[in-house]
A and B are shown apart, each in its own frame.
Chain A
Amino acid sequence: MELEGGSTEEFSSIDGYFGRFGGRFVPEPLIFALDELNDAFEKCISDEKFVAGLDNLRKNYIGRPTPLYYAENLSEKTGGARIFLKREDLCHTGSHKLNNTLGQCLLARSMGKARVIAETGAGQHGVACATAAALFNQECIVYMGEVDTQRQASNVFRMELLGAKVIPVSSGSRTLKDAINEALRDWVENVRSTHYCLGSVVGPHPFPKIVREFQSVIGKETFAQCLDTEGRLPDMVVACVGGGSNSIGIFSPFIGRGVQLIGVEAGGTGKGEGEHGATLCYGIEGVLHGSLSYLLQDESGQILESHSVSAGLDYPGVGPEHSYLKEKGLASYTTASDEEALHAAELLSRTEGIIPALESAHALAHAVRVAPSMSKESFIVVCLSGRGDKDIDILMERL
């Protein structure tokens, strides 16, 4: 079996759209920058020097390939299917986010843009962007909701230590969605000199495509590692979905290959308005932040606030490719509640000595839920997208 797997592109013909989802719903002044970015991206990923440079950084700076670890203790405790963990938590900066920011900041450098802006929720993407910008000597501005700057104060300091400027956003709900609004406003104003390093597979085309490409390294490695150690593809791949970048990254080579792909959204505290972040499970399609996708919105089209114990899943939108995968039945989506995620984090800490990020704990919670009903011969891969150090305060408070 060859390494390169299928991708959604095989099922989607019009550039910029995944079926009817995606598009470029942005103010007109940004269109030229999106065209420029798309051209630069296409040129770079077919340029051997760019690819070799990125490969080198992935290996020696991020620490790739990350291991595919058989969680034997956890599997024995859970029973049924064996559970493997794709250890993105071992990446430099502690999550999969650096896969994307290194790629994009390198792209910005090749476009001659010395100023990079980013949005961040919990701070993982902000830290990863500040890290890449420090490496490439770029000016870095990170927009972060005021609420998040307070609950993630140490990440604010981390970004500042890396030389970035963190701007608290006090408009709207003062969280991730508003940080994206503010970054888009900055971009409209400074579009000629600035690259917007978007952190997930959301936003206008070509961002969902670019971020997917840079994150697909997770899936490509996993694909090869499964063949290596088990001699076959897994029965199921499980990943958490906020905007959806680690999940698209790990899903992409497995799409259409008979592997069950499960995205796990933030079930929060319930199904009511403002109680969860389960956009695909409970949302309705609409347009936010540049693309047509599922959204949490009210009946008059105002965007609703989301909730999750994990800041990285606390977003009322989702990447358009996920909406497409859901609609075509190529992946399925479920939820794990705050409580389930917290318990999964505790379980993994006790059984394997690995403290997962609360985002990743949602994926783990689902794997633990379904493994007992599967045979011992089957195996599940969970994308362990980040480590849990950043969540220690919440874990202390809640467990």
Chain B
Amino acid sequence: MSGIARIKDMFEGLEGRRAALVTYACGFYPDEGTSRDVVLTMLSSGADAVEIGIPFSDPVMDGPVIENAGRKAIEAGATALKVLGLISKIRERTEKPILIMSYYNPIYRQGLQRFVGLAGDCGVDGLVVPDLPPEEMEPLKDVCDESGIATCAFCSPTSTLDGIASASRMTTGFIYCVSLLGTTGARQTLSDEIPSLIRRARECTTLPLAVGVGISTPEHCREAGKLADAVIVGSALVKLIKEDGSHQGLSELVSEMRGALL
């Protein structure tokens, strides 16, 4: 099954009954084995799909939690190719969608054809590239289209309607709607820009809309999930990852978030 089809099936399977829960984990944080267990814990606790991060030395879209996780992951030996290897091991254990979250340079360095080819072989379903706005996405999308891997373009509260329309043209998975102006990281309150962002996005596209950045609590998931087709949670979960391998806190929060979406 192609990645595009797997992501489409996930949304169709939910039939609009509830929003999907997409959780983020940084590959190799705090080490390879623990990060694999973290992802499997997220999936068994109710995540509908996972985003696995390839750490980058200069993560400009990330706040301190994910930046620090990325730095430790690089110290633990993470590279783009090793994270793909990690994903192939996770693929053996799940049929749910697995996306890669990576800045563009680690992908570009491998060559787009080679990277996307390897990603497909390892069971990756989609790519999320935070420093690749719709206008720069075409070369990557062309290559992903050939391999059936989904692309997920971004839109945000500052997007024009034209900008959202071009995000839609560059997307074969879901559109990643950045809930607020700022970097990734947990927030006390949910962004009040979400309703107007989702309303404007619906005017421009029929593709699934996922809301991310600053979604930190089950209550945030409930509220954002009423409007969007998926919610994406990162920093709030990464903060709970323990180096000693106990994933109880993580597991509980993922189930609560999933529960809040029902």
- List chain A positions with a Cβ less than 8 A from chain B: 23-33, 171-172, 177-178, 181, 184-185, 188-192, 284, 286-290, 292, 295, 297, 299-303
Residue of A nearest to B80 (CB): A300
Distance of A212 from chain B, by nearest CB (Å)? 21
- Decide: B158 and A301 in contact? CB cutoff 8 A: no
Distance of B40 from chain A, by nearest CB (Å)? 25
| CA A181 to CA B64, docked complex, whole Å | 12
- Decide: B58 and A189 in contact? CB cutoff 8 A: no
List 14 A-B residue pairs with CB atoms under 8 Å apart, sorted by A's residue number: A25-B133, A25-B136, A27-B131, A28-B178, A30-B158, A172-B57, A185-B63, A286-B109, A295-B105, A297-B105, A300-B81, A301-B110, A302-B57, A303-B105
Distance of B172 from chain A, by nearest CB (Å)? 17
CB of B79 within 8 Å of the partner chain: yes
Please classify the interface of chain A as helix (H, G, I), strand (E, B), loop, or mixed, using the class held by over half of its residues: mixed
| CA A288 to CA B134, docked complex, whole Å | 17
- Given A26-B131, A27-B130, A303-B57; A192-B106 close (CB under 8 Å): no
A residues less than 8 Å from B136 (CB atoms): 23-25
Please encode chain B, from 159 to 176, with 1 for each CB lying within 8 Å of some chain A CB and 0 for all others.
Answer: 110010001000000000
* Total CB contacts across the A-B interface at under 8 A: 115
Q: Which of B2-10, B91-99, B149-157, B237-245 contacts A (4 or more CB under 8 A)?
A: B149-157
- List chain B positions with a Cβ less than 8 A from chain A: 56-61, 63-64, 67, 71, 74, 79-81, 103-110, 130-136, 153-160, 163, 167, 178, 181-183
Distance of B258 from chain A, by nearest CB (Å)? 28
A residues less than 8 Å from B80 (CB atoms): 300-301
Q: Which 4 A-B pairs have the closest CB atoms?
A: A301-B109, A300-B79, A301-B106, A28-B154
| CA A302 to CA B105, docked complex, whole Å | 8
Given contacts A32-B159, A185-B60, 20 further A-B contacts (CB under 8 A): A23-B136, A25-B136, A27-B60, A28-B159, A29-B159, A29-B181, A31-B163, A172-B57, A177-B58, A188-B182, A191-B181, A287-B103, A287-B105, A289-B58, A289-B60, A290-B131, A295-B105, A300-B80, A301-B105, A303-B105
- Decide: B181 and A287 in contact? CB cutoff 8 A: no
Of A185, A287, A303, which contacts B131 at CB under 8 A?
A287
Distance of A141 from chain B, by nearest CB (Å)? 16
- Decide: A181 and B58 in contact? CB cutoff 8 A: yes
Residue of B nearest to A286 (CB): B105
| CA A31 to CA B162, docked complex, whole Å | 12
Distance of B143 from chain A, by nearest CB (Å)? 16
Q: Which of B74, B133, B134, B156 has the most CB of A within 10 A?
A: B133
A residues less than 8 Å from B183 (CB atoms): 185, 188-189
- Decide: B58 and A31 in contact? CB cutoff 8 A: no
| CA A68 to CA B104, docked complex, whole Å | 43
- Given A31-B163, A299-B109, A300-B109; A181-B60 close (CB under 8 Å): yes
- Given A181-B58, A181-B60, A286-B105; A33-B158 close (CB under 8 Å): yes
- Decide: B156 and A29 in contact? CB cutoff 8 A: yes
